[in-house]
Chains A and B, each alone.
Chain A
Amino acid sequence: MVNKRRTYLMIWVIFAVICLFLFLKYASPKVFQILMAKGHPMPTPSTLMMWYMIMGVLAGLVYATTSNQKFVDFLSFLLPDRGPVIKSLLQKVLFVSFPVLVGWFVYSWSLPGAASPVELRIQHPTLPQNYEKLENPFRHEDAETQRLCIEEGKILFQTYCRPCHGSKADGNGPFANAFRLRPINFQDPGTIATVVDNYLFWRIKEGAPGLPSESTPWDSAMPSWKDDLKDDEIWKIIMGEYDTAGVMPRQREKLE
């Protein structure tokens, strides 16, 4: 036997992986609950859990192979040793638990059961060409007219859009819970603040049916308002909507 040192590196790596598992399973839901100020724990989604665990194991292995000395130490745990009882006990536990773990994986994977599919979608597909050139007819009016438009738009927003998008434009309207693809939170800087205002004109006019299939139109409750609202009203709603949410539309690049 070459390696005379008695190290428990392998056990430490396994211990770290187990700690990671326990953290993800029990501690992190609580941590995220506090961080995100939610009223309920936020369990780590199962797919994410699997990837974190794979990464944890890999990290352990990468660490164990950072130097030859470490690698030798790491493997040496499996070598016979007439050392302390604790070591031979741990060795036995390790030898037994590996096949059991493999068996458990196979069991849990072949159990029938259907998790809901992950429904990835693109929130902001490209704006159709015929909407690209449109401009808000009220943008160039004087400040007082604009203010009146915003006020009018806010009232329209509160009447038609509030049940879903919420009266604060935060996506928390009383009907929002019923839609699994939740109405958009316009205060979120990743939503309407990242697009130009004629983009909204398109979305409001055409609604879900206007979306391309990469944006899963079949799940979207966003109504098409073209039969119910006039173009002027839609522009006013857009102004009121940005104002309610407290964000600004993206400025159009100047055409050279």
Chain B
Amino acid sequence: MIKAFKKGLIGFGLLGVCAAGISGIAAVEEAQASHLFRTYKRETPPKPPETPEAIAEGKKIYEKRCWYCHGIEGGGDGPAARTMFPKPRNFTRNEYKVRSTTFGSVPTDEDLFRIITSGIEGTAMPFWYTISEKERWQVLYYLKTFNNQFKESGAAKMVSLGGGIPSSPESIQRGKELFKETKCFECHGEDGRGNGPLTVALQTEWDMPYRARDLTKSWLFKGGNTIEDIYRTVSTGFNETPMGSYLEKLSDEDRWHIAHYVKSISKDMTSDVVIKATLLETEELPTDTSDENWSKAAVIEIPLSGQIIASPRLWTPSVDALRIRALYNEDEIAFLLEWDDSTNRQEDVFRDSVSVQFPTKIPDSLKKPYFAMGDSGGAVNLWVWKAYWGEGFGSVIEAPETEPGEAYELNAKSFNKISRQPPESQNITGTGVYQNGRWSVVIKRPLKTDDAKNDIQFEVGRLIPIAFAVWDGSNSDVGSQKSVSSWYYVNLEKQVPKTIFAYVLVAIIMGASVELWFIARLRRFPPKEEE
């Protein structure tokens, strides 16, 4: 009897091995979905001597890897630069951003090494830790030959970056005051979302394409997002950008305070594949973007990219992330969509807007309509909200806070097969508010509608595919020129059923009985050693 039991066990074990193999494949897929932002790496290895041979080697590397963007003469005008914003660095000028040297001077070799190693998140500049350390030194020696200032200025004027004070609520508070007093907010906005009046004026009146950093997005800091990095950035500034150096304007201590404050407002992206819609029992769903019930819903932030799948394409998107929350009750579902935008200026066709996309019915298998506007095999249902613009031809306005904007439903089977639903099938309501550099939009709809053919019908507990798009009017986004996401899922969370405790109790009793039976039997007929 024992032998038969043993064979069974071994067979079972083999089955387990196969199953684990299969799930191994699945795990690889899961791991791929986790994304990664570049980080500023500060370590530098010792550098080799800057000999003519090293420079000649560097030229070869440059003409293999860098020139498409930075140009064969280093002018930042390579053939691929056309579709980029910001443009690649022009090495013939001194427009280096990430440095540990005083404003206006050229970076040190180590600065260049670090930025070449790390790359620049949110721009075309790749990370180059993929080439050897020696190659990185060689190529940067070559870069320096494009600009005489490297030779002429002699030893670089380093900003002293020692010391530091620990972060504390008082320091952050002082930093916050300094952020106002030193007028950082004029460019970066009161809440740091890059929406200050000066930024807007530069863009609109001077047509200067500078975008002050959105300091709330920690992953976009070009020079790194640690306290020390931020302190260095504030001390040195970025050459040839409005971001100046505060070395003279602020004391050393004050620069640390301000760095602590900037760090405290910068947040990481908390992303997930499933957006959980929380049940709001016995209550009306909020229509207002500032309703406190929203805090009951989990926040998920997802990255967006420019739409470059079908032309006309958007190569230089300005909206790169969207925050989503969802609530539902017995009758309705509501989404709160938030994204940062430096202005709320609207023009005739160029309007700030957002859309939520669903398949027209919940798919029974993994098969879905195409994530970008559906396909002939599956239509999508789109909920669009657009900021207010009701002025005469050619006028540009800032959407007033009293105007909630308009919301309407569409169906689409591709980028050029889009139809607006007839008035009797329009079931959504939408309200948008622009405050301190952020759009907040609430879109609401009944869970079920009469138009079951063209509208998604929500069901509790199912995984429902959902995708998003955002347009920024001031970036001339319109039509297919928008920021997009791929398919995610929304799940109307089931409540924990009360019966669960009964099940658990039954399970414990059953477990205990089986155990008692087994032990009783074992003690009655103890296993005998066979000879």
Asked if residues A219 and B371 are in contact (CB atoms below 8 Å), the reply is yes
- A68 in complex: contacting residue of B2, B13, B510, CB < 8 Å: B2
Asked if residues A72 and B461 are in contact (CB atoms below 8 Å), the reply is no
CB distance from B259 to the nearest CB of A (A): 22
B507 at the interface (CB under 8 A from A): yes
CB distance from B528 to the nearest CB of A (A): 5
A82 at the interface (CB under 8 A from B): no
Asked if residues B486 and A180 are in contact (CB atoms below 8 Å), the reply is yes
Q: List the A residue with the shortest CB-CB distance to B15.
A: A58
* Chain A residues with CB below 8 A from B528, complex form: 2, 72
Asked if residues B461 and A114 are in contact (CB atoms below 8 Å), the reply is yes
Q: List the B residue with the shortest CB-CB distance to A47.
A: B23
Asked if residues B305 and A55 are in contact (CB atoms below 8 Å), the reply is no
CB contact list, B476-514 vs A, under 8 A: 484-489, 491, 493-497, 500, 503-505, 507-512
Interface size range on B against A: 35 or more
- B25 in complex: contacting residue of A75, A100, A120, A219, CB < 8 Å: A120
B339 at the interface (CB under 8 A from A): no
* Chain B residues with CB below 8 A from A114, complex form: 274, 461-463, 489, 491, 493
What count of chain A residues pass the 8 Å CB interface test? 84
A142 at the interface (CB under 8 A from B): no
Asked if residues B494 and A79 are in contact (CB atoms below 8 Å), the reply is no
* Chain B residues with CB below 8 A from A71, complex form: 2, 6, 527
Q: List the B residue with the shortest CB-CB distance to A116.
A: B273
* Chain B residues with CB below 8 A from A107, complex form: 500, 503-504, 507
CB distance from A101 to the nearest CB of B (A): 8
Asked if residues A158 and B37 are in contact (CB atoms below 8 Å), the reply is no
B530 at the interface (CB under 8 A from A): yes
* Chain B residues with CB below 8 A from A198, complex form: none
Asked if residues A48 and B20 are in contact (CB atoms below 8 Å), the reply is yes
- B486 in complex: contacting residue of A2, A103, A111, A178, CB < 8 Å: A178
Asked if residues B526 and A1 are in contact (CB atoms below 8 Å), the reply is yes
Given A114-B491, A158-B79, A178-B305, also A168-B126 (CB < 8 A): yes
CB contact list, B370-401 vs A, under 8 A: 370-372, 375, 378
* Chain A residues with CB below 8 A from B311, complex form: 227-228
B515 at the interface (CB under 8 A from A): yes
Separation of A170 and B65 alpha carbons in the complex (Å)? 13
Asked if residues B526 and A79 are in contact (CB atoms below 8 Å), the reply is yes
Separation of A217 and B376 alpha carbons in the complex (Å)? 13
Separation of A223 and B496 alpha carbons in the complex (Å)? 43
CB distance from A157 to the nearest CB of B (A): 9
A137 at the interface (CB under 8 A from B): no
Asked if residues A174 and B124 are in contact (CB atoms below 8 Å), the reply is yes
CB contact list, B97-129 vs A, under 8 A: 121-124, 126-127
Separation of A162 and B81 alpha carbons in the complex (Å)? 11
A172 at the interface (CB under 8 A from B): yes
A182 at the interface (CB under 8 A from B): yes
* Chain B residues with CB below 8 A from A159, complex form: 79-80, 82-83
Asked if residues B507 and A102 are in contact (CB atoms below 8 Å), the reply is yes
* Chain A residues with CB below 8 A from B522, complex form: 75, 78-79
- A218 in complex: contacting residue of B31, B306, B367, B511, CB < 8 Å: B367
Contact pattern, A 1-42, Cβ under 8 Å of B = 1, otherwise 0: 111000000000000000000000000000000000011101
Asked if residues B527 and A3 are in contact (CB atoms below 8 Å), the reply is yes
B17 at the interface (CB under 8 A from A): yes
* Chain A residues with CB below 8 A from B56, complex form: none
Asked if residues A221 and B503 are in contact (CB atoms below 8 Å), the reply is no
CB distance from B162 to the nearest CB of A (A): 26
* Chain B residues with CB below 8 A from A69, complex form: 529
Separation of A207 and B6 alpha carbons in the complex (Å)? 53
B155 at the interface (CB under 8 A from A): no
Separation of A116 and B31 alpha carbons in the complex (Å)? 12
Asked if residues B461 and A112 are in contact (CB atoms below 8 Å), the reply is yes
CB distance from B412 to the nearest CB of A (A): 14
A154 at the interface (CB under 8 A from B): yes
- A163 in complex: contacting residue of B69, B274, B302, B315, CB < 8 Å: B315
Separation of A11 and B443 alpha carbons in the complex (Å)? 57
* Chain A residues with CB below 8 A from B127, complex form: 172
A195 at the interface (CB under 8 A from B): no
Asked if residues B484 and A178 are in contact (CB atoms below 8 Å), the reply is yes
Asked if residues B303 and A155 are in contact (CB atoms below 8 Å), the reply is no
CB distance from A195 to the nearest CB of B (A): 19
Separation of A164 and B369 alpha carbons in the complex (Å)? 22
Separation of A154 and B65 alpha carbons in the complex (Å)? 10
Given A65-B9, A175-B306, A219-B487, also A103-B273 (CB < 8 A): no
Asked if residues B500 and A167 are in contact (CB atoms below 8 Å), the reply is no
Asked if residues A100 and B2 are in contact (CB atoms below 8 Å), the reply is no
Asked if residues A158 and B529 are in contact (CB atoms below 8 Å), the reply is no
* Chain A residues with CB below 8 A from B303, complex form: 177-178
Asked if residues A163 and B83 are in contact (CB atoms below 8 Å), the reply is yes
A118 at the interface (CB under 8 A from B): yes
Q: Across chains A and B, which 3 residue pairs bring their CB atoms closest together, nearest first? A: A102-B511, A112-B494, A178-B305
- Enumerate chain B interface residues (CB-CB to A < 8 A): 2, 5-6, 9-10, 12-13, 16-17, 19-20, 23-27, 29-33, 35-37, 39, 65, 68-69, 78-80, 82-83, 121-124, 126-127, 130, 273-274, 302-306, 308-311, 315, 366-372, 375, 378, 461-463, 484-489, 491, 493-497, 500, 503-505, 507-512, 515, 518-519, 522-523, 526-530
List 10 A-B pairs, Cβ < 8 Å: A71-B2, A98-B512, A107-B500, A114-B491, A116-B489, A117-B366, A158-B80, A170-B126, A208-B370, A213-B367
Give 7 A-B pairs besides A177-B305, A218-B368 with Cβ atoms closer than 8 angstroms: A44-B27, A48-B27, A71-B527, A106-B507, A114-B493, A155-B79, A177-B37
